[in-house]
Chain A
Amino acid sequence: MKITTIAARAYIALVLILLYAPIVFIAVFSFTEAKSLGNWTGFSFTLYRNLFTGSLQNSSGLISAVNNTLLIALAAALISTVLGTLAAVGIHNLRGRKRQTMTFLNNIPLINPDIITGVSLFLLFVFLHISQGYFTVILAHVTFCTPYVVLSVLPKLSQINPDIYAAALDLGATPGQAMRKILIPMLRPNMISGFILAFTMSLDDFAVTFFTRGTIGLDTLSTYIYTDARKGGLTPELKPLMTIIFLLVLVVLLVINIRQSRQTEKIQK
């Protein structure tokens, strides 16, 4: 092996070690009972047991935060996928000034930092006297999730041979049937990746939720961790929770990726 190759791989390994240090740190200390990170009081599964039996030291706050996070992400991703796919089909058929306007507006939530999205929507809800809660958080998440769906679906639309839709009509499909039987199935993979993207964005969000959740005590995982950390002590069960999430995502991603590379290999053969 050439020296450059060794150096390159060493560099990648080093960056990865730095990136993963905090995560490994969390994972390691999820197997001990101590409250604070970095304090090893002997190997134990207690935190995992607590997490699954629901007997948390602090409260049931963590469980409901996890539920809220999933619920909000699911709702936001579903709405975004429908809204974004419709919009992408519309934008694809727009030309000139109208198309530029739509693309510009669609890009704003992508470029805006979370805090601007959060503050601006907060002002909107205050201005319109809308009481804040689940509804406003989901609405806010749809705002910053939909552009990702649009960007996932739009490129596929321009790849589709425009005659495909015409061919369906030609063979006797009504416009509705052509949509259901031809366009939607062809767009499905992109809609799914848009959905996943939106779901992840929503899961990971902190700032927007923070400003739009109101004062009814609605917590997602992010806001829960934030309040928890500011109070001084993290709920220890967060550590096993994060470890489990990490392992789940790791397995899913690796499976998807290995499968993909096998498929491309097959096609190449």
Chain B
Amino acid sequence: MNKRSRWALPYFIFLVLFVALPLLLIVIYSFTDGAGHFSFANLTKFFSDGNSLSTFAVSIEVAIENTLLCILIGYPAAYILADKKLNPSAVTVVLFILPMWINALMRTLATAELFNMAGIPLGKGTLLFGMCYDYLPFMIYPIYNVLNKMDKSYAEAAQDLGATPGEVFRKVTLPLSLPGVWSGVMMVFMPTVSTFAISEFLTNNKIKLFGTIIQENINNSMWNYGAALSLIMLVIIGITTLFQGGKSEGEASGGVLI
């Protein structure tokens, strides 16, 4: 039996080479200068560069706003979808996943064009709404998944014990669905901070997000600085992952398929 544990070996080597080593390289490049000498210059540059810092702040702000917006719109949608009485057909769920099969850039361009037609100037507002379009399914699906699998007898037990429908939701359904919300947050927050093409299209390059400055630096061969910026993102990912802790098991990430 245990011999088959060796089957994980090729993938282990693959992961070390193409996941662990590249991340290590981000760290190494962050702490070296162009000539390969150890240096803090990249990080001090970031913390003394007003442009980078403000881009960073804007990115975090937009990401928080977008995540909240996605929860605000997505949670009720997921709740309704998971309720057999309100939504008897599974096809509706498919309709929510379907847009993800259309190229994200194409969808974004069309969204931007729609705003143009409607005469809405591209900027912060359009950026938020556009992002929300793009990431809403990623929020709805994990929440829907948790709600759908939730044992109905919890809610019934609460009702039996005298809880009003409002109390049932606040004290039973909502706390039990939080792991789904957390996976949704993971799937919306970091990608929002790091997008580059989407933000360019939605604001006509007026608002730069953190992803954009990483991309610009890498493309302009400023690898060390680009790596340092990536490292900062990695740190934030680390913190959010730790913060999220064991709340959900990476399960909902397979949310793209039916």
Chain A residues in contact with chain B, CB under 8 A?
4-5, 8-9, 11-12, 15-16, 18-23, 25-26, 36-38, 83-84, 86-87, 89-94, 98, 102, 105-117, 119-124, 126-127, 139-140, 142-143, 146-148, 150-152, 165, 193, 196-197, 200-201, 203-204, 206-207, 210-211, 221-222, 225-226, 229-230, 234, 238, 242, 245-246, 249-250, 253-254, 256-258, 260-261
Contact B106 A110 (CB under 8 A): no
Contact B251 A151 (CB under 8 A): yes
Other-chain residue from A25, A127, A226, A254 in contact with B110 (beta carbon distance below 8 A): A25
CB distance from A173 to the nearest CB of B (A): 15
By secondary structure, the B interface counts as helix
CB distance from A182 to the nearest CB of B (A): 13
Q: Which residue of B lies closest to A85 (CB)?
A: B7
CB distance from B244 to the nearest CB of A (A): 10
Contact B8 A115 (CB under 8 A): no
Residues of chain A with a CB closer than 8 A to B51's CB = none
Q: CA of A253 to CA of B101 in the docked complex: distance in angstroms?
A: 11
Which 7 pairs from chain A and chain B are nearest by CB?
A: A90-B8, A87-B11, A120-B22, A90-B7, A22-B110, A113-B194, A93-B5
Contact A38 B116 (CB under 8 A): yes
As a 0/1 sequence over residues 19 to 35 of chain B, the CB contacts with chain A under 8 angstroms (1 = contact) are: 11111011001000000
CB distance from A104 to the nearest CB of B (A): 10
Known: A225-B103, A242-B106. A120 touches B25 (CB 8 A): yes
Chain B residues in contact with chain A, CB under 8 A?
1-2, 4-12, 14-16, 18-23, 25-26, 29, 73, 76-77, 80-81, 83, 85-87, 90-92, 94-111, 113-114, 116-117, 133, 136-137, 186, 190-191, 193-197, 200-201, 211, 214-215, 218, 223, 226-227, 230, 233-234, 237, 241, 250-251, 253-254, 256-258
Contact B90 A257 (CB under 8 A): yes
Q: Which residue of A lies closest to B251 (CB)?
A: A151
Contact B193 A113 (CB under 8 A): yes
Q: List 29 A-B contacts (CB under 8 A).
A: A11-B77, A16-B95, A18-B133, A23-B102, A26-B107, A37-B109, A38-B114, A38-B117, A83-B11, A86-B10, A87-B12, A92-B4, A93-B7, A105-B12, A115-B230, A116-B230, A119-B26, A122-B218, A124-B18, A146-B14, A148-B253, A197-B256, A204-B101, A206-B105, A207-B194, A210-B215, A226-B105, A245-B103, A254-B94
